[in-house]
Amino acid sequence: MSLKVTQADNIRTLSSILPWIRSLIFNAGLYLLLSVSFITARFFVKRDTEIIHAFFVKLNQRIHRWFCFCIGVSLKVYDKENILAEPAIYAIRHESAWETLAFMSIVPRACFVLKAELAYVPLFGEIIKRLKMIAINRKDGLRAIPVMTKQAADRLQKQFNVMIFPEGTRMASGQFSKLHAGVYAIYKESGAKVVPVALNSGKVWPRRVFTKYPGCIKVKFMPYIAPGLGKTEFMLLLEERIKLGTMSLYE
């Protein structure tokens, strides 16, 4: 009887350790792949936005395959018909670092709104600039909005899709916060459509946690919000669509 208990305990211990080991293997491969790719992009890829963007789309695809292989993750994307043929703003639910790794290979010509601190990371910062990402200093508060809207309008005009996380930070699965108004400023100034995007990545890759877990990441593209709405109506509609879409993926 005691032997059976010991075997059961060993199985439980292994089950709890295995995700950590898988996460360690994934991270080691991730940092190696990123280091080699950043050095390659810095010294051997032409300084052309289109070329460097295509290079990093391929990189993100490799990283995602590596992630799925190491951790035991699958991906389901729902309602892809809501991905627009024209340049648009994609307001994405933010639960983990997965979103920044995966969406370049899900939505074509993706351009992210990122925190400005990333632009000062060696190698990575230079790549961000060459990819024409939109870097904003959140410490500037409202003063950052005109800079962001100007850059976003420029990227949309150049046929890029603008990816923004309106919650402003990663949220735990099942938790929601008030959306930041920066997304409305871009929507109003650019006249572009906004596609709300729901997901459940936090169940597989929780925020501020090293260990990743096996499972299925689900992404759902909601119907777009047409231009012309006032701020209150727009923000309520965006919040409603992101929340409803996200809750449906937890079921």
- CATH no. for residue 135? 3.40.1130.10
In a domain, 146, yes or no: yes
Q: Which of 49-58, 135-144, 159-168, 189-198 has the lowest mean pLDDT?
A: 135-144
DSSP conformation class of 177: -
Q: Are 163 and 92 in contact (CB under 8 A)?
A: yes
Q: Are 249 and 200 in contact (CB under 8 A)?
A: yes
In a domain, 5, yes or no: no
Tally the domains of the chain.
1
Domain of residue 129: give its range.
Answer: 73-250
In a domain, 7, yes or no: no
In a domain, 3, yes or no: no
Mean pLDDT over 104-129 rounds to 82
Mean pLDDT over 136-161 rounds to 88
pLDDT band at 2 (very low <50, low <70, confident <90, very high): very low
Integer Cα distance of 123 and 126 in angstroms? 5
DSSP string covering 143-178:
GHHHHHHHHHHHHHHTTPEEEE-TTSS---TT---P
In a domain, 152, yes or no: yes
In a domain, 170, yes or no: yes
In a domain, 38, yes or no: no
Integer Cα distance of 29 and 68 in angstroms? 12
pLDDT score of 7 more than 60: no
Integer Cα distance of 185 and 136 in angstroms? 14
In a domain, 14, yes or no: no
The whole-model pTM stands at 0.90
The neighbour count for residue 222, using CB atoms within 10 Å, is: 21
